[in-house]
Structure 1
Amino acid sequence: MIDVSPKFNTLRYAMAKGTLIAKAETIHRVIDRTVPKGDVLEVARAAGINAAKRCSDWMVFCHNLPLDWIDLKFEFEEDRIKVFAEAKAIWKTGVEMEALAAVAGALLNMYDMLKPLDEELAISDVKLVKKKGGKSSFRDGFAEPLRAAVLVISDSTFAGQREDKSGKIIQQFLEKQEVSVAVYEVLPDEKEQIRERLIQLADREKIDLLFTTGGTGLGPRDVTPEATREVIHKEIPGIAEALRKHGKERTPYAMLSREVSGLRGNCLIVNLPGSSKGAQESMEALFPGLLHAFPMMRGFGH
């Protein structure tokens, strides 16, 4: 199976459809509910719902996910019945297979109930109609790449006693986004020095997106949040809340972090943890939704 543990939950939606081809007489018997085996539509609806709920039981690489909603609808034409299934879940993976399984389950049960009456039955055109949710639904495009800065805040790294890992992880992650890393620096845990560099990058060097990594814990020299608060003009609590929520689902130590995020002019400043694992998980939690801050800042709203 694909490891989806780094992903975060979003509302997932999918619609699938399929067709049962039959004689006109057979279609009328379904509508009139005169099929000997029973009410074809009600059985098909129940079978489709059950197939969706048990999708992962027989589909080898399909993740077991908590379905929030599944429903089926039927449309009639002279020689066919069209089956539509819709599914929703708030989860890490999509519900395409559940919607397709619902359609397939409904069609197979319809076929089974009608085969004594019609030797020309056929199932066709089972396919996905549309899907929503996941990271692909939350991507913003930019005419030019955003300019980013990565500041590693660490006394030991600044002194050359420790190799930086978290800053490089952030840098590598940004290279896969519509972001150009213009600045990468290492600073000591000195509040005034951090503060002054944040101001320079935001005001003079016109950096769009500024990440700090390190100095957000409870150590005696952890002062990155304090320096950031003195610099930003508008705090964005939701960013830090998202980081801590995502982190808390993976380690209880996330509740001890003190990251701060906010705007200074047109520069978005985000504190990240200093550990390499924390930095990686934080970037996965933030993107691509974080980039939507920029169209909002430019007056385009949500």
Structure 2
Amino acid sequence: MKMADVSMKFETIREAQAEGKIYLSKETIEMIKNKQIPKGDVITASQMAGLLGAKKTPEVLPFCHPILIDQAFVEVQLQEDGIYVKSFVRCIGRTGVEMEALTAVSAALLNVYDMCKAFDKNMVISDIKLVSKKGGKSDYEEDLSGLKCAVITLSDSCYRKEAEDKSGKVAIDIIENEFKGEVVHYEILPDDKEKIVEKLKQLTDKVDIIFTTGGTGFGKRDNTPEATKEVIEKEMIGFEEAMRIIGIRFTPKSLLSRAVCGIAGDHTLIINLPGSSSGVRDNLKMIAPLLKHAIRMAKGEKKH
């Protein structure tokens, strides 16, 4: 058992709304309306209980991440047959607030039950559900199904078979098994700029995405960014920046990457990934969910 790893997710505005109801007898409703419940004001107390429930969610649900809630409110409405509760929770974070919203509703309804249990033996808590959520991966994330991909490892030592190509194999595994893309071309090339340019041009418009690994550092033979810039027509600067920003969460050495991302030909994306297996894994998992949308934009099929 373990909490989900959200370290590679973007920090976005996350919102969730939930609702629920507790059914009460007419006599109990009248007592609440006339503020005759000995423990106090049921409506106000239940609002407070709901807010506390939202804040305490990670303490009662073991797999929920502790988060900083930026806004939360709970509405408690007395109706003809019971009390209706609605909650709203918002934060800026890497995980959603659905459970906080649901816990807020649950806590508010349980508080009603607690305050009224001496007078109503037939109360029923029901209809607790998530009404809406916003800001998570479902808002933007897509897999790579239906896309043809190429993986090119750029390394003199791997080309001479003096070292094993681990990064390219990691890329293929993630593309095919996690994001359902199809790798139709895999190759190892030396760090030769002209050969890289030639291969990128050959694959342009024959595949949807070209992933390169390696050759993005400061060495004299690190030519991948320069070769990529010769082939692409538009640079995808946001992807490059995000890869470096996310990368420094794991190692400051990510700032040494000169990786380039861009669009070549009609719609082919070229993505420079690092030469390390961990770097490939971290960066690919972060940007892959946005690549299908980027291709549609390049084709003019969907506005951003």
Q: Please, what TM-score do these two structures have when normalized by structure 2?
A: 0.91
- Deviations along 1:109-132, one digit per CA (max 9) or x if unpaired, are 122222344333332232333334
Matches within 5 A, 1:12-27: 12-27=14-29
Name the structure 1 match of 2:108: 106
SS in 2 for 1:54: helix
- Deviations along 1:182-204, one digit per CA (max 9) or x if unpaired, are 1111111111111111111105x
**Structure 1 residue 94 and structure 2 residue 96: aligned?**
yes
**Structure 1 residue 173 and structure 2 residue 154: aligned?**
no
Equivalents in 2 of 1:268, 1:64: separation in Å?
Answer: 37
Which amino acid in 1 is paired with 2:110?
L
Which amino acid in 2 is paired with 1:161?
E
Name the structure 1 match of 2:229: 229
User: Quick check: 2:70–2:92 contact (8 Å CA) kept in 1?
Assistant: yes
Which amino acid in 2 is paired with 1:250?
F
Equivalents in 1 of 2:197, 2:34: separation in Å?
Answer: 76
User: Quick check: 1:6–1:284 contact (8 Å CA) kept in 2?
Assistant: no
Name the structure 1 match of 2:163: 162
SS in 2 for 1:297: helix
Which amino acid in 1 is paired with 2:130?
L
Equivalents in 1 of 2:133, 2:53: separation in Å?
Answer: 19
User: Quick check: 1:85–1:99 contact (8 Å CA) kept in 2?
Assistant: yes
Name the structure 1 match of 2:80: 78
Misfit runs of 4+, over 4 Å: 31-34
Matches within 5 A, 1:115-130: 115-130=117-132
Task: Say what the alpha-carbon RMSD is for the aligned residues.
Answer: 2.0
Q: 1:5 to 1:118 in 2, by over 3 A?
A: closer
User: Quick check: 2:215–2:223 contact (8 Å CA) kept in 1?
Assistant: yes
1:257 CA drift (Å): 0.8
Name the structure 2 match of 1:139: 141
Name the structure 1 match of 2:278: 277
Structure 1, 17-26 or 167-176: larger mean CA deviation = 17-26
Which amino acid in 1 is paired with 2:114?
D
Name the structure 1 match of 2:62: 60
Give aligned pairs, total: 299
Equivalents in 2 of 1:258, 1:153: separation in Å?
Answer: 14
SS in 2 for 1:13: strand
User: Quick check: 1:155–1:189 contact (8 Å CA) kept in 2?
Assistant: yes
SS in 2 for 1:221: coil
User: Quick check: 2:191–2:222 contact (8 Å CA) kept in 1?
Assistant: yes
User: Quick check: 2:6–2:95 contact (8 Å CA) kept in 1?
Assistant: no
User: Quick check: 1:147–1:207 contact (8 Å CA) kept in 2?
Assistant: yes
1:69 CA drift (Å): 2.2
Matches within 5 A, 1:189-200: 189-200=191-202
SS in 2 for 1:169: helix
Q: Gaps (5+ residues) in structure 2?
A: none
Equivalents in 2 of 1:260, 1:60: separation in Å?
Answer: 41
1:135 CA drift (Å): 2.6
Identity %: 45
Q: Please, what TM-score do these two structures have when normalized by structure 1?
A: 0.91
SS in 1 for 2:204: helix
